[in-house]
A and B are shown apart, each in its own frame.
Chain A
Amino acid sequence: MKFIHYLERISGISVYPMISLLLFFAFFSFLLWYAWSAPKRLMDYGADLPNSDENV
């Protein structure tokens, strides 16, 4: 396999960065909703995990 130019050209390469930005925007919006919708009980439980080990 040779990694050199398979296609002659592609028009509108600028669509790539735009898709990238939209992808991130969608991902980040979902992420915000995901984090903020989490129940407090679960978050507190998670936050306390490092110190929940009495052996140390």
Chain B
Amino acid sequence: MQLDQFSYDNKIVRNFAYATILWGIVGMTVGLLVALQLVFPALNFNLPYTTFGRIRPLHTNAVIFAFVGNGIFTGVYYSLQRLLKTRMWSDTLSRLNFWGWQFIIVCAAISLLMGFTTGKEYAELEWPIDILITLVWVVFGWNLFATILVRRERHLYVGVWFYIATFVTVAMLHVVNSFELPVSFMKSYSWYAGVQDALVQWWYGHNAVAFFLTTPYLGLMYYFVPKAANRPVYSYRLSIIHFWALIFLYIWAGPHHLLYSALPDWAQSLGTVFSVMLIAPSWGGMINGLLTLRGAWDKVRESVVLKFMVVAITAYGMSTFEGPMLSLKNVNAIAHFTDWVVAHVHVGALGWNGFLTFGMLYWLYPKLFKTQLYSTRLANVHFWLGTLGIVFYAVPMYWSGFTQSLMWKEFTEDGMLRYPNFLETVTQLMPMYALRALGGTIYLAGVVIMAYNLVKTAKQGAAVEDEAAEAPALVKAYQPHQNEHWHRWIERRPVQMLVLSLVVVAIGGVFELVPTFLIKSNIPTISSVKPYTPLELQGRDIYIREGCYNCHSQLVRPFRSETERYGEYSKAGEYVYDHPFQWGSKRTGPDLMRLGGKYPDSWHYNHMDDPTTMSPGSIMPAYPWLIDNTLDVAGTPAKIAAMRTLGVPYPNGYENKSIADLNQQAKAISNRLAKEKIEVDSDKEIVALIAYLQRLGTDIKGSKTAQK
């Protein structure tokens, strides 16, 4: 048989591997800073660029899209070539993918620190970067598909199915969730509002976990675990069921992030049921990964690569058990908005994504540099540091989550809240936050040791940039065997696979999203809910810019413990003008839904200048620049016009009047402040923010508390 001579592109794999390590260290260091800021608020440095609200999105974006993103590309570019017995279709596209992705990461880091954000979690990047991401993702998909089409192995391995589903679903999620109307360069408003925005966002957010942190890594698991163990995958049948059931079910589960919220009840129940069912394919995958090692468990003692992979798969199993549990409404009532969710996420991120990446890198480096690992001992040290780091991270966060929730919900015998001051429930957690930072430090130390070990490995070896290979060419005119199983109809046809994957994931999306968009009865309108005034709108943009949603929710759930603390529970109709919604997902500080009218303007002024003057012991950063910064009033008409385009009922031509209205309201606030002996010009950002904060939740509060 004629053998084709060709070579694998190892250079691109090596570049992505280096980027994975670099961004891993950067992203985790930023994470450590975020953790320390909660213990030592001075680490916010009183600078806009380094406050928690901007640094936390930087951490999440860096570890998800920079660390794991590059990890995905490393593994895909290595395994795809070998599974298809062909070189990547185009070296130029590979390079474009690499440099484009790194460019996006740098743009993201700079823009997030500068306060450019859409205010939607894990999708914070502004519209020009969204477009860049789309372009680079298309380059990746193009290269992926072109390579598949020129392959020398007819059968598409299950790992490749996971890559295909990842490509197509991430593309769909990114495009749908990023529908936004640009107002200016680096500023846009979400196309959707309130409840709809929340539903789309968590459909995206949940499935970003599914199709960015899970499916590509499952593809990597299906390649690298059999490779490292030198055994076939335990059950190929199970992997087929795993794949199709997982991608079908995952897409429906998004609403479990919105339980007890203003989202219609039927959508919440739908999310819960599908989340519970999701445990089956997830555990099917975990079992398939672990049982691949059947009869080879002795190797786990010897091989540090397998150690990392076994813990990774176990962590996957734990977090995919916990996920469905958290989706039960009774469990969610306790866990939501607390550190429990932070613990859950990090078992997945540190355990599953982190450890699988490390295992893959320890296996890859000696192959890429034709040498032995520099130090197995150091790799073992890394393994134990990493494992300890996860324990020291997760246990305090679970503890903290339970403590928080119990304190929020505790009543005295007289029926009053036991801890009416929210701050008490925060200061109580300080030891846990300190321990969590310790866990993060240990984990990061392990990663630094890995970087040293791998760099030394690379130095002692010689990089093989183009690895020679040979394989028989694929016969073009393929004659199927008689009685050939029709499995091959799909498993040998990548385009069908792509289309079918898209159909499978689209079904869930359509069923979940469409009714809420079409039906008025799902979002009851409330006549007293009015659009924001121009000044409030500007204040809201400052609220979004400073990332307040990272610590404060705007969603009072219908529990007595919440209505007692915050006031009337949230109604869907209250959010109809919120582009984007700002419900938040974590309460490091109290809910702000009913903040309007609760405190005088001077309280907000002093609190933003230095929170500890109003709340001694507060860990909230200070925002002194809001007092000095002059509000960019000139952009107001464009913002009003954009909001009207999105359906907010500002009268035609109102934009021309908007600046005058803005100035008038600002003047009134600065006059009120002057009466309380605070002299501030009415054109400062703090005035706009106060206007917004005083408006929050007042539409249905009635005139008594709306304006003091």
Contacts and interface: CB of A to CB of B under 8 A. Distances in A.
B85 A53 contact: yes
A53 B367 CA distance: 14
Dominant secondary structure of chain A at its interface with chain B: helix
Contacts of A14: 266
A49 B515 contact: no
A3 to B, nearest CB: 5
A47 B232 contact: yes
Interface in A1-52: 2-10, 13-14, 16-17, 19-21, 23-24, 27-28, 31-32, 34-39, 42-51
B517 A3 contact: yes
Contact of A49 (B153, B270, B467, B507): B153
Contact of B521 (A9, A37, A38): A9
Contacts of B273: 17, 21
Contacts of A16: 266, 270, 511, 515
Contacts of B248: 24, 27-28
A7 B237 contact: no
B160 to A, nearest CB: 9
Given A2-B647, A55-B467, A35 B519 contact: no
A17 B270 contact: yes
B476 interface: no
Interface residues of B, number: 65
Contacts of B45: none
Interface in B482-520: 485, 487-488, 491, 504, 507-508, 511, 515, 517-520
A40 to B, nearest CB: 9
A6 B523 CA distance: 12
A44 B241 contact: no
Nearest to B517: A3
B277 interface: yes
Contact of B226 (A28, A32, A35, A51): A51
B155 A45 contact: yes
B274 interface: yes
Closest 8 CB pairs of A and B: A5-B520, A47-B232, A2-B647, A9-B521, A47-B236, A43-B236, A49-B157, A55-B469
Interface of B: 8, 79, 82-83, 85, 153, 155, 157-159, 191-193, 196, 222-223, 226-227, 230-233, 235-241, 244-245, 248-249, 252, 264, 266, 269-270, 273-274, 277, 367, 467-470, 485, 487-488, 491, 504, 507-508, 511, 515, 517-523, 576, 646-647
12 contacts: A3-B517, A9-B519, A10-B519, A13-B519, A16-B266, A20-B274, A38-B487, A45-B155, A49-B155, A55-B8, A56-B227, A56-B367
